[in-house]
């Protein structure tokens, strides 16, 4: 099935991809098929239509599942245990009370966006989410505010820095491909990222929360927002505990810039500052700062860490299946098909980089694949055109890679399960927020291009 109604191979691939995505949404939303089953069926469909070998389809799906869960399963597990320690000790409640006192109940969604924007700079999106999600549940409970009104600013703050701001891996890779200046890229990304996060976060969150009412997962709500302790831990020690992995990852970033490659010191700092090791260190520290120091016994801590992993099982399975679907799409050649068609256009490199990254993101679901592929395509075009701002090319590529996250993105399923939403609700909230981020960022980038 390499062609569709006489279309070229590339055009046929795009048609099959659209059919697979629409079919996936219909299976889950209308026919109530379990997402795991629906994602496997969609993966088989796109693989067969693309002409992949039968064994290659299964291999790609298995590789995709393993590739996603190899990182996310550990991060989600460690982060969930850290969140449980914060909840049981009253640490999340302490931070929530402090934010409410400083910003007022009506402005906690603004506080959440700024916290996420700062925390998200050195950490991966998934790491920032599992670190901060307990605060969303706790703030929502204490202020009687919609989970979406606080949650959307959180995800907007994390997502925009993940896509635009070095030292995130995809952004750094794009900097290298384009030959852009890291310092200027960071400066411009902050100028673009902050107003973008405000529009897609607190402003959109306030708008959409009045139109969609959520019933949070009782298990997660109880796990992240209930504390039996009357005496809460100090604000300082709680914030230090939650920021410890952020600090360690930031140290690794600084070491990469200041120390020679291959240096033993840099190697050790990179190891300690990796997401998994830094989260592990923070969790072990939390056992003392939020556990033993609060009067909990070893049996209590074991009970907490065992209990909290149960609700994450379904989340992990669906995320893994989303990763499998994503990998099949990539292996089928959809990204290459879009790249080939896009290179024939004659538009501004800044707009072209955003467009190519956006199309690849929509087709494959991977922001990293979208950003790196688009950078590779646009770099030689930009090199042949004088006066192109390379730093803004990096930002435009990153902005495009954020657009329209949907059912082929493992992040879509992570947000869906955490906020206990239907597929339709997730499309109206998370997908729309990501699209607002992408388009708003492009507008600010084009305005900045006029100035610089």
Q: Three-state SS for 68?
A: helix
Q: Is the model more confident about 420 or about 308?
A: 420
pLDDT, average across residues 148-164 = 92
Residue the block writes with tokens 């930009």: 382
Q: Three-state SS for 211?
A: coil
Q: Is the model more confident about 344 or about 376?
A: 376
pLDDT, average across residues 330-341 = 76
Measure Cα distances from 158 to 101, 196, 323, 330 in Å. 23, 12, 20, 25
2 within some domain: no
The string of DSSP letters for 236-286 reads HHHHHHHHHHHHHHHHHHHHHHHS-TT-HHHHHHHHHTSHHHHHHHHHHHH
CA gap 219, 21 in Å, rounded = 30
pLDDT category, 262, cuts 50, 70, 90?
confident
175 within some domain: yes
What is the pLDDT, as a whole number, of residue 227? 56
1 within some domain: no
pLDDT, average across residues 221-243 = 76
372 within some domain: yes
Which residues are CB-neighbours of 9 under 8 A, at least 6 positions away? 2, 3, 337
Measure Cα distances from 115 to 92, 96, 154, 271, 438 in Å. 14, 12, 8, 26, 21
What is the pLDDT, as a whole number, of residue 344? 66
**Segment 58-90, tens digit of pLDDT:** 999 999 889 878 877 888 888 888 888 887 888
pLDDT, average across residues 193-210 = 95
4 within some domain: no
**Taking all residues of the chain, what is their mean pLDDT, rounded to a whole number?**
85
3 within some domain: no
243 within some domain: yes
Q: What angle do CA 310, 313, 318 make, to 5 degrees?
A: 155
pLDDT, average across residues 310-316 = 75
Respond yes or no on whether the N-terminal peptide bond of residue 167 is cis (omega within 30° of 0).
yes
74 within some domain: yes
What is the pLDDT, as a whole number, of residue 364? 77
Is the pLDDT reported for residue 8 higher than 80?
Answer: no
pLDDT, average across residues 164-171 = 76
What is the pLDDT, as a whole number, of residue 394? 93
What is the pLDDT, as a whole number, of residue 206? 94
pLDDT category, 159, cuts 50, 70, 90?
very high
pLDDT category, 225, cuts 50, 70, 90?
low
Q: Whole domain around residue 172: which residue ranges?
A: 9-450
Q: Give me the helices (H) in 365-422, please.
A: 367-383, 390-400, 410-418
Q: Tokens for 414?
A: 């992570």
What is the pLDDT, as a whole number, of residue 427? 94
Is the pLDDT reported for residue 298 higher than 80?
Answer: yes
pLDDT, average across residues 144-167 = 90
CA gap 298, 172 in Å, rounded = 42
Q: Which of 28-42, 342-356, 373-387 has the highest mean pLDDT?
A: 28-42
Is the pLDDT reported for residue 229 higher than 80?
Answer: no
Taken in order 166, 442, 372, 246, is the CA torsion positive or negative? positive
Q: Tokens for 319?
A: 């995320």
Number of domains present in the structure of the chain: 1
């Amino acid at each position: 099935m390499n062609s569709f109604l006489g279309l070229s191979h590339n055009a046929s691939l795009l048609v099959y991809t659209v059919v697979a995505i629409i079919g996936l949404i219909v299976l889950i939303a209308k026919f109530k098929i379990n997402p795991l089953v629906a994602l496997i069926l969609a993966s088989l469909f796109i693989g067969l239509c693309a002409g992949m070998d039968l064994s290659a389809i299964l291999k790609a799906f298995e590789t995709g599942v393993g590739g996603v869960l190899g990182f996310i399963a550990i991060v989600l597990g460690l982060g969930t245990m850290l969140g449980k320690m914060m909840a049981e000790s009253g640490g999340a409640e302490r931070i929530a009370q402090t934010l409410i006192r400083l910003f007022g109940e009506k402005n906690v969604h603004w506080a959440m966006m700024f916290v996420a924007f700062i925390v998200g700079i050195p950490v991966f999106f998934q790491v920032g989410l599992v670190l901060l999600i307990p605060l969303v549940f706790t703030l929502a409970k204490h202020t009687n505010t919609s989970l979406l009104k606080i949650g959307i600013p959180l995800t907007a703050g994390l997502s925009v820095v993940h896509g635009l701001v070095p030292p995130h891996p995809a952004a750094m890779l794009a900097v290298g491909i384009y030959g852009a200046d890291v310092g200027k890229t960071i400066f411009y990304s902050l100028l673009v990222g902050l107003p973008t996060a405000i529009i897609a976060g607190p402003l959109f969150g306030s708008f959409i929360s009045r139109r969609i009412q959520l019933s949070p997962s009782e298990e997660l709500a109880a796990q992240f927002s209930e504390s039996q302790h009357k005496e809460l831990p100090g604000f300082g020690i709680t914030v230090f505990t939650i920021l410890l992995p952020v600090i360690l990852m930031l140290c690794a970033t600084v070491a990469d810039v200041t120390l020679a490659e291959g240096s033993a010191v840099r190697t050790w700092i990179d190891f300690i500052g990796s997401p998994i090791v830094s989260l592990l260190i923070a969790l072990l520290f939390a056992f003392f700062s939020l556990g033993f120091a609060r009067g909990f016994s070893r049996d209590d801590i074991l009970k907490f860490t065992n209990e909290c992993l149960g609700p994450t099982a379904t989340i992990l399975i669906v995320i893994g299946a989303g990763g499998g679907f994503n990998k099949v799409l990539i292996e089928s050649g959809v990204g290459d098909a879009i790249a080939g068609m896009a290179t024939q256009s004659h538009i501004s490199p800044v707009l072209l980089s955003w467009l190519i990254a956006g199309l690849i993101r929509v087709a494959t679901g991977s922001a990293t694949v979208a950003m790196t592929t688009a950078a590779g395509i646009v770099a030689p075009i930009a090199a042949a055109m004088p006066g192109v701002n390379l730093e803004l090319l990096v930002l435009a590529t990153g902005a495009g890679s954020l657009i329209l996250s949907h059912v082929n993105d493992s992040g879509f399923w992570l947000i869906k399960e955490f906020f206990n939403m239907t597929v339709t609700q997730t499309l109206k909230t998370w997908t729309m927020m990501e699209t607002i981020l992408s388009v708003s960022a492009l507008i600010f980038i084009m305005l900045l291009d006029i100035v610089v």
